Amino acid sequence: MAEPKRVDLTVKQKRAILVAVVLPGTQRELEEPLDELRGLAETAGVKTVGTLVQNRQVPDAATYLGKGKLAELKTLVALQEANTILFDNNLSPAQTRNLEQELETEIVDRSELILAIFATHARSYESRLQVELAQLLYMRPRLKRLWTHLERTEGAVGSRGPGEQQLETDRRLIDSRVSDLRQRLKTVERRRERQVSQRRDYLTVSLVGYTNAGKSTLMNALTGAGVFVANQLFATLDTRTRAWKIPNLGRALLSDTVGFIRDLPHNLVASFRSTLEEARHADLLLHVVDASSPAAEQQIATVNDVLKEIGIDARRAVLVLNKIDAVRDRSYVDVLRASHEQAVSVSAVERTGLEQLSAIVRERLGEGYVDATLETSVGNGRLLAYLAAHAEVVRHEYVDSRVTLFCRIPRRFLNSLPGDDARVHLTSANGAAR
């Protein structure tokens, strides 16, 4: 009896050629052009089998690459048996279509690769909605290339062929799904806004920064949160919030946000706007930077640009130079500190510099504090618990059934003291009554 035929169910790993066209005035002029793309490819599980870089004043309108480099790329694809070409540039739908026809190989531009990584790493309901919306908005103008082989293949002049009919159907389906996703995200956004507003009773700090700058590791070091950490780009997409006990200040809420990257797809930024609501309303931002990266200064500028795009003033952030344990040349850090005088150097892995960081945070958050003396009954448990959570209580004095508390408290919390059994007396810095 003949053996049944075996079916190969293995999924072959994509073999990719990495391509970058370096234009004047771009960040890639100041760094190794393909370093970041190589990291993105690794994160996406793609094997790099070749690279190609071209310096041009302007991209070719039809294929982005010049004719000579296009021929060189075609030869490289054949030699390396590559089945994918990853561009570190954003291509137009026409350029993608022309390249695929010329090279007979799958073309993936920078935005599509980033969206694919986000789709793989999305875990929460909200982040999955956000990524799907961004993917559909990216895909819609590129539908035509999927149906070119069917367009106007039959019928009289002026009639619509099956390809054009399919194209219209797909566009309607996408438009319908986009509308549905936007409605769902509005519901999620309203829920998040309520959550953020409820946290106004607490001091809030948000971590922002370039992807893989070590934000999650720093959050673990400061709070013992134990959140997921991986040495890859966009390891996590969801905002996590944990309690942070700041010495001589009290408890604050520390939030970790999605990492940024150069040329982040605009649709993705728009979709994740609600996720970044935590950063927009935070009392203080910690801008985490990978100090060991030669492109650290450019990454700082990229993060500041994205923050500006979503309506956040980057000037109110504390710059945290992380990964100083991995810095090979200390002059890198010296240059950064010379350009950013308020920066603080830390190593989240080795837990060094964290006391200095906490001191700076305490000072910045303490700028809105006032010295206050509150007298209430010893049975006013709600007020006592509120002060324990939101103020630094220096000492207590008990007289009969009354207690006097000497504390430092954010001015905005004075307006929401629970109960009406307390007498509040404010003093200025020199102790004079106000």
Q: What is the pLDDT of residues 362-421, one digit of tens each?
A: 888 877 678 888 888 888 888 888 888 777 788 888 888 888 888 878 776 776 777 667
Closest CA to 209 of 97, 281, 314: 314
Supply 43's token pair: 């994160």
What residues contact 71, with CB distance under 8 A and at least 6 apart? none
In this prediction, residue 359 carries a pLDDT of 92
In this prediction, residue 5 carries a pLDDT of 52
Q: Greatest CA span in the chain, whole angstroms?
A: 102
The whole-angstrom separation of Cα 410 and Cα 290 is 32
Handedness of CA 385, 386, 387, 391 (dihedral sign): positive
In this prediction, residue 102 carries a pLDDT of 94
The whole-angstrom separation of Cα 369 and Cα 392 is 10
Exposure of 150 in the CB half-sphere (CA atoms within 13 A): 14
Q: Where are the alpha helices (DSSP H) in 199-295?
A: 215-223, 266-271, 277-280
In this prediction, residue 274 carries a pLDDT of 62
Q: Is 375 exposed, middle or buried (0-12, 13-18, 19+ CB in 10 A)?
A: middle
Q: For each successive 10 residues of the chain (434 residues), what is the average pLDDT?
A: 49 84 71 83 92 93 94 95 93 93 93 87 81 87 55 41 66 89 86 70 86 90 75 65 84 85 76 71 91 89 86 86 90 86 91 94 81 86 82 85 85 72 64 34
The whole-angstrom separation of Cα 281 and Cα 363 is 19
pTM: 0.74
Alpha carbon distances (Å) from 97 to 63, 108, 109, 267, 395 = 9, 11, 12, 21, 72
Q: Are 163 and 150 in contact (CB under 8 A)?
A: yes
Q: What is the pLDDT of residues 232-247, one digit of tens each?
A: 566 666 678 888 988 8
User: Mean pLDDT across the chain, nearest whole number?
Assistant: 81
Handedness of CA 385, 387, 391, 394 (dihedral sign): negative
In this prediction, residue 20 carries a pLDDT of 94
Alpha carbon distances (Å) from 382 to 1, 387, 390, 393, 401 = 82, 9, 12, 15, 16
Exposure of 131 in the CB half-sphere (CA atoms within 13 A): 22
Exposure of 38 in the CB half-sphere (CA atoms within 13 A): 10
Alpha carbon distances (Å) from 66 to 41, 51, 69 = 24, 16, 5
Containing 17, the helix (H) or strand (E) segment is: strand 15-22
Instruction: Tell me the Cα Rg of the chain.
Output: 28
In this prediction, residue 156 carries a pLDDT of 40
In this prediction, residue 282 carries a pLDDT of 85
Q: Is 395 exposed, middle or buried (0-12, 13-18, 19+ CB in 10 A)?
A: exposed
The whole-angstrom separation of Cα 206 and Cα 289 is 14
Q: What is the pLDDT of residues 68-101, one digit of tens each?
A: 999 999 999 999 999 999 999 999 999 999 999 9
In this prediction, residue 153 carries a pLDDT of 39
The whole-angstrom separation of Cα 205 and Cα 266 is 26
Alpha carbon distances (Å) from 276 to 153, 197, 200, 344, 394 = 48, 14, 16, 24, 35
Closest CA to 294 of 31, 39, 34: 31
